[in-house]
Structure 1
């Protein structure tokens, strides 16, 4: 058995404040026995405007956000999936929205740049991530001791072809900052669908609450098993959820219903 944890935050415009919160929550997850921990999307900064994150973009391998993640992975001896942070892109006005993974020794293990950029218009709500983010172009996975882990972020959840391109994973992670409107409608059903169709565990770490900029994120961080059952969940507010990855159960699901072997396309 492997214990994994998802951290839920209500991030602020203050990077130092968010790092302090993440430090405390990662320690809590590790103390609970988790050997793999995921932070949510935008955990280091939820600015008063979308452009605020551009000023805090870091070069790869340098900066306080990355230093914290490397140190936390090393201190607790865990695999740390760093939600997303802003990295410098080739466009000075935009950033990469990037997931970085750190090994238990604190060394970098994988990188995934969010591929699908959220756009939404309904009533007073309006979002267009492409204004401040450059889309990624490559699928992201890494090999953990228990199997392959697929990397995705938030809006990626609506594009099942991305998950097929990952190959057979034991776990898929989904750091997110789903809006309350779209989360209420679609979050759980999409997460459960990804778990069922890929016959793997899904760990979703979310932003969850009312932010200083007025935005309300949906929360409901959760762990879902390969049969589509929700094993742990946190509705709103800051906190940690955890649960076990059962390799025998995963194998039994794939053996009794070998859908992955029955694919024709």
Structure 2
């Protein structure tokens, strides 16, 4: 299974963002990729929360989703992308959508962990002011013996979510579309957390990121990457590139890593010894 991780600098214009997405999709198709992963807010990144909520649409009638459907069909490409989905009232869902090569929706994940943080030497961000948190774990079969677990940005800091997806949903590939802040990225949180989630779950991680300056008030870290089940970064983009990076995923590598270090078995022994299964 050949995949592409895409990186871009989204702004508050569907037209501008979609023109970039079209270019990345064309390149992924030329490189014979089966799937393209795009960052958080790939459809629209507003300068204000009001602007973000105002443009949110319901998925079934969204003209933006329709354009992504067309791209998937045109290039016979599975696509993971993110947008804000109307939730009613003055809030929206931060939603990740997975389309198959026919443009049909395979999965929809509404971000569970909302980013309400005062970043040191960075912005104060309170996502819950304009976003409704999701309540469901979501996974889907994406072919090539891979089951994809859907997570988004701040979810990365909650390992129990990834473990639940692996052990309860059979996931061996995770998507982490993000708009990671520059201060936390520079502090090493981005690469450290991504590699940790790959190593502890013995799974591939695909982390598509926003990059560079979106507006006077917002800048993202970039460094989109793909990490293998042994924790090795096998593909990476720079801090401000608008491009794709490509990797051929190997399900046999997942099996090999899990067989050589059977942490799933050791996990059950540990849980029994600690009495966790009884709680």
**TM-score bucket (shorter structure):** over 0.9
Shift of 1:124: 5.2
Instruction: Name the TM-score, length of structure 2 as normaliser.
Output: 0.91
| Residue aligning to 2:173 | 171
| Residue aligning to 2:103 | 106
Q: Cα deviations across residues 104-142 of structure 1 (Å, max 9, x unaligned)?
A: 111111110000001221345210000110000000100
Runs of 4+ in 1 over 6 A off after TM superposition: none
Q: How many pairs align?
A: 262
Say yes or no: does 1:223 pair with 2:226.
yes
Bigger share in helix: 2
Instruction: Name the TM-score, length of structure 1 as normaliser.
Output: 0.96
| Residue aligning to 1:249 | 253
Could you tell me how far apart the structure 1 residues matched to 2:204 and 2:79 are? 17
Could you tell me how far apart the structure 2 residues matched to 1:10 and 1:110 are? 24
| Residue aligning to 2:235 | 232
- Identify which of 174, 184, 191 aligns with 2:194: 191
60-69 or 105-114, which deviates more: 60-69
Instruction: List runs of 5+ in structure 1 lacking aligned partners.
Output: none
SS of the residue 1:209 aligns to: strand
SS of the residue 2:229 aligns to: coil
Could you tell me how far apart the structure 1 residues matched to 2:219 and 2:210 are? 9
Shift of 1:195: 0.4
Shift of 1:64: 2.1
Could you tell me how far apart the structure 2 residues matched to 1:194 and 1:155 are? 13
SS of the residue 1:236 aligns to: coil
**Larger CA Rg, structure 1 vs 2:** 2
Instruction: List runs of 5+ in structure 2 lacking aligned partners.
Output: 272-279
172-181 or 16-25, which deviates more: 16-25
CA contact (8 A) 2:121 2:183 kept: no
SS of the residue 1:61 aligns to: helix
1:28-39 to structure 2, matched below 5 A, reads 28-39=27-38
CA contact (8 A) 2:122 2:183 kept: no
| Residue aligning to 1:16 | 15
- Quote the RMSD (CA, aligned, Å): 1.2
